[in-house]
Structure 1
Amino acid sequence: MTWHVSQDDLRAYARGELAPPRLWSADTHVGSCADCRAVLAAVSDPLALDAGWERLDAELDAPRPGLGHRFLVRLGVADHTAQLLTATPVLRRSWLASVACVLAATVLVVHAVDAPALFLALAPLLPLGAVALSYGPVLDPTYEIAAVAPTHGFRLLMIRTVAALTASLGFNCLAALALPGYGLLAFGWLLPALALTAAGLALSARLGPVLGPGLVGGAWTVLMAVAALHPTGTPAAFTTAGQSVAAALAALATLVLHQVRDRFDAKPY
């Protein structure tokens, strides 16, 4: 080396006060000069150096946001809300692929045997299952973080519910569009799906996120099985009267859910 960085410049470099172009020269030279690195270590403040390494470690260890997270932020969703949404288990590709395969198989069977009741019976269970799997300690990988976070439990539940419903109802609608021969009957699952989901959420406030939706889903399955054993054309749940009952049940369950919303802050799960 024919030259070295002066001690004054090295002190300014260590404090982060050295300005270009001297900064660029010092940065390049220190990387290849052991003598200047030794002088830099001698004139550097150990506490400041340690703090710098800690900041660097924190930056390197910080998780990189995924594609879904970045997409939601670009849409205007707050960063912390985007994190809650992208951590929802039912938004994983494995879950979405499974739902798509189940619906595709069901549509093919309906086309083969001309039995729309099969699709109508299955479709309301998918949103209910998606919501049930979107929170609670059983399947939520971020439950422990959410349990101690200063976030209203009911708000977290609603964020996850909207995400799960959006994904499930979107797939269901695409499947219904693949059954054009049945007209509006192919969308008869929508009100029952909303009623089952709202009822499952209302019961989960007292029974938990597994048992509550499980009882609702079981009751729906029994109802559809009984209807299949006594076929009378369109199942009663998808007639005008049945749709009216589903709408009323959805409204009632939503009201009950609002009344018991504070129970979700107790974090009983």
Structure 2
Amino acid sequence: MTWHVAEDDLRAYAHGELAPPLMWSADTHLTACAECRARLARSTDPVALDAGWERLDAELDVPRPSLTERLLVRIGVTDHTARLLTATPVLRRSWLLSVLFLLVMTVLAVRLADQPTLFLGLAPLLPLAGVALSYGPALDPTYEMAVVAPLHGFRLLMIRTVAVLTAGLACNGLATLALPGYGLMALAWLLPALALTTTGLALAARLGPVLAPALVGGAWLTVLVVAASDSSANSTLAPFTAVGQSAAAGVALLAALLLYQSRDRFDTRPLGGFHGGDGA
């Protein structure tokens, strides 16, 4: 060794008062220098030395917050809530890029085939799938952390739902801007998206986080198929007419009321944590 830890730094290190990066430098040096370790042992009592190592381990092992997590904390979100939000699977880059790719391909197909129904039928399913993937033991790798978080299950579910919907609706909104020729017709996916998402959440309190959105998504596809079979080639499908939009708004409102009435179920079985995916 060509250098050793200074006496003042060694004393501060022993009392847990040496700040990074000097602390990291001293720690690296101590692992390879028997002389400095001996000096450290002579200058401190064993209890203080053990406490210092414990503080060092805690400092090195603490997870580094991501940029998104730091931004959430800066705007007033608590540490644990910010971590639970950024750990949501569908807020990660891979999911968002997959959604954007799917929307881009759909928009291209619409522009080539002049069939806005392709986009209007797909867009409501993406928020439903995103919310479904944001909770539940079978889908969320951070489920155990969410269960022990100091938050009610329903409140955490709503926080994640708002975050996921914000990201999903933003993606859908960007895709809508790529279809200016259809005017307000290009926004006809919005109310069905809210209706499907709220219905999926309301049923998840009883059927679980996998079965409920699967049934809701299947029901939506069935409605589209039936509407397509009953309409002419150039007419607007029933779900995207004024009557259909009103019905979607009514379903969203009714589902929101049912979800609120079922809120306690998400505390007794946190975040849809049903065994076997059912409500038994």
Deviations 1:131-189 (A, max 9, x none): 00000011211101222333200011001101110111000011111100000000001
Q: RMSD of the alignment, in Å? A: 2.7
Count of aligned positions:
255
Mapped contact 2:133–2:140 kept (Cα < 8 A): yes
1:14 is displaced (CA, Å) by 7.3
Corresponding residue for 1:176? 176
Q: Decide whether aligned partners of structure 1 residues 192 and 44 sit closer, same or farther in structure 2, where only a CA change above 3 A counts.
A: same
TM superposition score normalised by structure 2: 0.83
1:39 is displaced (CA, Å) by 4.5
Q: Distance in 1 between matches of 2:124 and 2:115?
A: 16
What SS class does the counterpart of residue 264 from structure 2 fall into?
helix
Q: Decide whether aligned partners of structure 1 residues 51 and 245 sit closer, same or farther in structure 2, where only a CA change above 3 A counts.
A: same
Runs of 4 or more above 4 Å deviation: 9-15, 30-37
Q: Decide whether aligned partners of structure 1 residues 185 and 33 sit closer, same or farther in structure 2, where only a CA change above 3 A counts.
A: closer
Identity rate of aligned residues, in percent? 65
Corresponding residue for 2:187? 187
Q: Distance in 1 between matches of 2:146 and 2:72?
A: 20
Q: Decide whether aligned partners of structure 1 residues 17 and 236 sit closer, same or farther in structure 2, where only a CA change above 3 A counts.
A: closer
Q: Distance in 1 between matches of 2:127 and 2:142?
A: 21
Mapped contact 1:135–1:157 kept (Cα < 8 A): yes
Corresponding residue for 2:123? 123
Corresponding residue for 2:86? 86
Q: Distance in 1 between matches of 2:17 and 2:215?
A: 68
Corresponding residue for 2:134? 134
Q: Could you say which structure has the larger radius of gyration?
A: 1
Corresponding residue for 2:145? 145
Q: Decide whether aligned partners of structure 1 residues 48 and 183 sit closer, same or farther in structure 2, where only a CA change above 3 A counts.
A: same
**1:238 matches 2:240:** yes
Unaligned stretches of 5+ residues in structure 1:
20-26
Corresponding residue for 2:207? 207
- What amino acid sits opposite 1:49 in the alignment? L
Corresponding residue for 1:24? none
Q: Distance in 2 between matches of 1:159 and 1:224?
A: 31
Q: Decide whether aligned partners of structure 1 residues 79 and 150 sit closer, same or farther in structure 2, where only a CA change above 3 A counts.
A: closer
